[in-house]
Amino acid sequence: MAAGRFPSFGLATPPAPRAIGADEAIALLKGGQAKPASLLAYGNGRSYGDSCQNGAGAVVDMRSLNRIHAFNAETGVLKADAGVLLSDIIAHAAPYGFFPAVVPGTQFVTLGGAI
């Protein structure tokens, strides 16, 4: 992901963080070049006011980690990556009678950002 704007809803204007992909983040952690606290996951930029305020570290773009790995149509248990959009979860689960009990005002939040 190229460096640049990471949109957020709100007026906070922190320094622009360095953007990296998930693979680079894993390599930095395994190699000891980064501590977990220096990295902040970035989903789809729908956070209310505090999205990606990590001017002293790096932002990890999680949007490529967007797969639904398993869904149990009997129990509603879902196994998915953090970058899966709520709209994808609803599209996958609703035909089986499952819908999240609480949802935000947008369907474009990521699973990781919602929890």
- Residue spans per domain, the chain: 1-64, 68-114
pLDDT at res. 7: 60
pLDDT value of position 88: 96
For residues 23 and 62, what is the distance between their CA atoms, to the nearest angstrom? 10
Bridge-partner residues for 52, per DSSP?
A: none
Task: Give the span between the Cα atoms of 79 and 6, in whole angstroms.
Answer: 27
Q: What is the pLDDT of residue 49?
A: 64
In the prediction, which pLDDT does 71 show?
97
Element (H, E) at 113: helix 111-114
Q: Residue 11 in contact with residue 53, Cβ under 8 Å?
A: no
Tokens of 51: 């999205």
Q: What is the pLDDT of residue 54?
A: 74
The pLDDT averaged over each successive group of 10 residues in the chain (115 residues) is 56 58 87 84 76 75 91 97 94 96 89 83
